[in-house]
Amino acid sequence: MGKIPGLKRVWVGKLRRPLDLGNNSRRDYGVAMEFDDAKALDAYAKNPAHDGWVKVYEKVRVEGTTTFDIVGE
């Protein structure tokens, strides 16, 4: 988080209730990333650290995981 301007917090965990996506698909786990504002989220998408996160996330990602981006505006 110290490397990403505007990233406040990251949570990982099992959802209290699975998120039903239809087509026999659901999400049981989630990752939430809280940013200062939408501008920080947009900058993060272009930051090299985002590519590093994707590499790590893909290794540990469990089928049925989804990510939520939260903007504190």
DSSP reduced 3-state for 53: helix
47-66 burial code (b ≥16 CB/10 A, e <16): beeeeebeeeeeeeeeebbe
More confident residue, 23 or 6: 6
Please give the Cα distance from 44 to 5 (Å, whole number).
8
- Asked whether the predicted pLDDT for residue 7 surpasses 80, the reply is yes
Q: What is the pLDDT of residue 65?
A: 67
| Count of beta carbons in the 10 Å neighbourhood of residue 33 | 20
Using the structure block, give the residue that is written with the tokens 């989804």.
66
- Asked whether the predicted pLDDT for residue 1 surpasses 60, the reply is no
pLDDT tens per residue, range 13-63: 888 888 787 777 777 887 888 889 999 989 988 888 888 888 877 766 666
- Asked whether the predicted pLDDT for residue 66 surpasses 80, the reply is no
Strand order in the sheet with 65-71: 7-22, 25-35, 65-71
